């Protein structure tokens, strides 16, 4: 049986996985993820009971029960580099035997729902809306390192976007879980989410650092491929969708639209928009 060396799957002296600091029994197979560590308690405040609370770096985990269902909520911090860590370590917790360091024959499929904030790229995606990412396009380079399989349709979207943006690498495009979209996001705004490797220049924001491509935001806004358009941006979704496809987990990213870059407005009630999304997800998950 092939075993994974201790330098690759790092297990802490107390038996927990390296960054998440969790044991396999600490997590449910139904997981809500958030970027902001302080948002974890904003989800678990609705639990009837919290049985696990663990903190390490930006990864804060609470596991408990909501209306009798065992749920885990974990924060990730920002960016797809953290999603690489989160998804590999969650998968290791359920699909690798920590004693033998061998991959289990029978695989467990996790259901993971991201509740995050996001900026709108289209005037008709309003502030305060709840947008479900049907697909996501990654402008980060995480998938330059994994053997991600993509359909010809996904490849033609990313090829065209690469050309329009003049990028030296090819972006990647992946869809979310159809099952979770139908179960949780049936009445939300459907969207295609652009995952950016930063909040400022990669999202066309200029403070003092400048912008290499002055037309960046306009290019995102007007990009079209057979009716496909980009609706919003944030910093994690494409990482989740691609790692979910590679590792075999159901993944859905939901976005509270707190900024509209076309109308130059930021939501005054951002916390309420996030809270109502949290309550919707808890009742449907």
Neighbours of 283 (CB within 10 A): 11
Which range binds ligand R1P by CB under 6 A, 105-113, 130-138, 183-191, 228-236?
228-236
Q: Is the CB of residue 147 less than 8 Å from the CB of residue 245?
A: no
Pairing of strands 250-260, 111-120: parallel
Query: C-beta of 115: minimal distance to ligand URA in Å?
Result: 13
Nearer to ligand URA, 10 or 211 (CB): 211
Under the binding rule (CB under 6 A), the answer on residue 34 touching ligand R1P is yes
Query: C-beta of 196: minimal distance to ligand R1P in Å?
Result: 8
Q: Is the CB of residue 213 less than 8 Å from the CB of residue 219?
A: yes
List, in sequence order, every residue forming a beta bridge with 71; answer none if it has no partner.
Answer: 64
d(Cα 147, Cα 232) in Å, to the nearest integer? 26
Nearer to ligand URA, 32 or 258 (CB): 258
Rounded to the nearest 10 degrees, what angle do helices 237-247 and 80-95 cross at?
A: 30
Beta strands in the chain (DSSP E): 30-34, 49-56, 59-66, 69-75, 96-97, 102-103, 111-120, 130-138, 172-175, 189-195, 232-234, 250-260, 265-266
Which range binds ligand URA by CB under 6 A, 60-68, 104-112, 230-238, 274-282?
230-238
Q: Which does 34 bind (CB under 5 to 8 A by kind): ligand R1P, ligand URA, none?
A: ligand R1P
Rule CB under 6 A: choose which of 64, 119, 204, 239 binds ligand URA.
Answer: 119
Under the binding rule (CB under 6 A), the answer on residue 235 touching ligand URA is yes
| Total residues at interface with ligand URA (CB under 6 A) | 10
Rule CB under 6 A: choose which of 21, 35, 89, 221 binds ligand R1P.
Answer: 35
Under the binding rule (CB under 6 A), the answer on residue 234 touching ligand R1P is yes
What does each C-alpha distance from 99 to 14, 16, 91 come to in angstroms? 13, 12, 15
- Site residues (CB under 6 A) for ligand R1P, limited to 50-69: none
Q: Is the CB of residue 138 less than 8 Å from the CB of residue 242?
A: yes
Q: What is the largest CA-CA distance in the chain?
A: 58
Query: C-beta of 241: minimal distance to ligand R1P in Å?
Result: 13
Per CB under 6 A, residues contacting ligand URA are 117-119, 199, 203, 233-235, 258-259
Per CB under 6 A, residues contacting ligand R1P are 34-36, 78, 116-117, 199, 234-236
């Amino acid at each position: 049986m092939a075993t994974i060396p201790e330098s690759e799957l790092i297990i802490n002296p107390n038996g927990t996985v390296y960054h998440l600091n969790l044991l396999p029994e600490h997590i449910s197979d139904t997981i809500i993820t958030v970027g902001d560590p302080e948002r974890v308690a904003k989800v678990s405040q609705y639990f009837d009971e919290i049985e696990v609370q663990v903190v390490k770096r930006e990864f804060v985990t609470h596991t408990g029960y909501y209306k009798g269902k065992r749920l885990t909520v974990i924060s990730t911090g920002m960016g797809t580099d953290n999603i690489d860590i989160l998804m590999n370590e969650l998968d290791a917790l359920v699909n690798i035997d920590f004693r033998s360091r061998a991959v289990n024959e029978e695989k467990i499929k996790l259901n993971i729902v991201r509740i995050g904030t996001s900026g709108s790229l289209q005037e008709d995606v309003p502030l305060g809306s709840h947008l479900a990412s049907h697909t996501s396009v990654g402008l980060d380079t995480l998938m330059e390192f994994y053997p991600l399989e993509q359909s010809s349709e996904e490849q033609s979207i990313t090829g065209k976007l690469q050309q329009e943006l003049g990028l030296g690498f090819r972006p990647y495009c992946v869809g979310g879980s159809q099952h979770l979209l139908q179960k949780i996001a049936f009445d939300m705004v459907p969207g295609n989410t652009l995952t950016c490797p930063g909040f400022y220049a990669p999202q066309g924001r200029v403070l003092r650092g400048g912008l290499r491509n002055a037309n960046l935001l306009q290019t995102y806004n007007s990009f079209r491929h057979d009716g496909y358009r980009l609706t919003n941006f944030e910093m994690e979704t494409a990482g989740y969708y691609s790692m979910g496809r590679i590792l075999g987990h159901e993944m859905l990213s939901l976005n509270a639209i707190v900024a509209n870059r076309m109308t130059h407005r930021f939501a005054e009630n951002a916390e309420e928009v996030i809270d109502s999304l949290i309550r919707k997800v808890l009742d449907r998950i």
